[in-house]
Structure formats: C-alpha cells, structure tokens
Amino acid sequence: MCLGLSVLVYLTKGSVLKGLVMAGIGLLLSYIGMDVVTGKARFTFGLIGLVDGIGLVPLVMGLFGISEILLNLEKAWRKNHSQTVITGLLPSKEDWRRSAKPIARGPSWVSF
C-alpha cells in the first residue's frame, strides 16, 4: 500500500501536496462500507446503501457529470442568437385545392 501511494504521489503533475490530498481522499472513500476483519460498518451513517461501499460505476458517472457541468460553466455565454422568421407553416390555397379530393375520400383504413 505504501508503494502504491508513493507511486501515486510521484506520478502527479504539479505539487506533491495535491498528490497527497488526492491519495488521502481516495483512502477515505475506500474506507466506506463493511470492514473485512471485524464485519462492522464504517462511515455508512446508518444508510443501508453504503454498507457495500461506493460502487465504481456511480462514482465514475458522477465524476464525469460534474466535470461536464464545470466545463459548460467555464464557457462564455454567447449572445449570438439569429433572428429567424418562420413562414409557410399553413397550407396555401393551391395545397388546399390539391388536397380536397383525398380529404373528402377519407382514410382508406376506415371501413363501415
């Protein structure tokens, strides 16, 4: 375990203090759940869902979600909205004239 923490601190770019804090947070997250030796629940705060510990998939999904939110907040809001006029939604007189007979005929799936 000491070798793993040492390699973690060595591989971090930047300050050593950030690597130590990262390793400490990882250790605290790994303590959550059932103790293997004694069978007692650690850091579950009475929640049944934390007895098994923190799952890897929800943890990774949450971290990716938080990073996406922070990246979107970092981008500057551009007020570059284009003004578009919506026209031609209603049928023209020519469209109504060409559709009159099919409308009068009705749907082919209706049988009386």
Is 21 part of a structural domain of the chain? yes
Is 17 part of a structural domain of the chain? yes
Distance between CA 65 and CA 45 in Å, rounded? 25
Range of the domain at 58: 2-65
Residue 47 Rama label (left phi>0; alpha psi -120 to 50; beta) = beta
What residues contact residue 42 under an 8 Å CB cut-off, 6+ apart? 31, 32, 33, 34, 35
Domains in the chain, number: 1
Distance between CA 14 and CA 42 in Å, rounded? 33
Is 78 part of a structural domain of the chain? no
Is 42 part of a structural domain of the chain? yes
Is 9 part of a structural domain of the chain? yes
pLDDT by residue for the chain (112 residues), tens only, comes to 788 878 887 888 888 888 888 888 888 888 899 988 998 999 999 888 889 888 889 889 998 999 888 888 777 555 455 666 777 788 889 999 998 888 888 776 665 5
The pTM (predicted TM-score) of the whole model is: 0.51
Is 77 part of a structural domain of the chain? no
Is 33 part of a structural domain of the chain? yes
Is 112 part of a structural domain of the chain? no
Distance between CA 44 and CA 50 in Å, rounded? 5
